[in-house]
Amino acid sequence: MSDELIQNTTQVKVDWPKFNNRATIENFLTEMSKQDNRATASPFYYVIMTGYDQILPEGHGGNDKFYCSDLENDFDSMEELYACAVDNGRTMEEAEKLSVREYSVERKFREECMFLTESEANRHFKLNRYHYTHDAYVYLKHAWRAPQLEEFFNALFDEYGIERQKR
């Protein structure tokens, strides 16, 4: 680059917003210190538990279901399957000859997301409810296998002079 080009180039100054890091950390720790721990030791965190159905082989527990490929549907009982077949114009004799596969379903839950404050977990859950099943809920967990996390939070609370409220 020529010296002339360098001299004519103006530097653009970006004014980034100034954050008060200390206040942000103190507010966060204060909120954490006031949370109901639901009789769970620190450190704890929140997750969204959402349900799903796990299909099991026939006879391995759970709730029995029946699938009929001819009717392209699942049924909770053979009586329900037969009633549907009859409603669709089949005789009872024809319904009894339909191809049926029995299987079991067990309702299970998996964890989604992770939040350090209950208010943040609840806010996310409320705003994103459509992502989760009808039986989803916010659940509190203990990070008992994370001694460094416990040490880190203890150091933060000590450094900022914030007392944890016992519940």
N residues, the chain: 167
Cα–Cα distance measured from residue 101 to residue 156, given in angstroms and rounded to the nearest whole number? 58
Distance CA 65, CA 55 (A): 10
- pLDDT score at 12: 63
> Partners of 47 in the beta sheet?
139
Six-digit token string for 19:
């954050």
The predicted structure's pLDDT at residue 74: 86
pLDDT, tens only, 134-151? 999 999 999 988 999 999
CA separation for the pair 153, 42 (Å, rounded): 9
Which letter does DSSP use for residue 72 in this model?
T
Query: What is residue 145's three-state secondary structure?
Result: coil
What is the three-class DSSP state of 128? coil
Q: Is 5 a residue whose pLDDT tops 70?
A: no
68-121 confidence digits (pLDDT tens): 778 788 888 889 989 999 999 999 999 888 888 888 888 999 999 999 999 999
Six-digit token string for 73 = 């549907």
| SS3 assignment, position 160 | coil
* Res. 1: pLDDT tops 70: no
DSSP conformation class of 131:
G
Tokens of 144: 């008992």
Locate the domains of the chain by residue range: 34-159
Tokens of 154: 């203890």
Instruction: Catalogue the long-range contacts made by 128-134 (C-beta closer than 8 Å, 24 or more residues apart).
Output: 132/48, 132/50, 133/50, 133/51, 133/52, 134/51
Q: 54 versus 167: which is more confidently predicted?
A: 54
Which of 42, 58, 6, 18 shows the shortest CA–CA distance to 142? 42
The DSSP secondary-structure symbol of 166 reads P
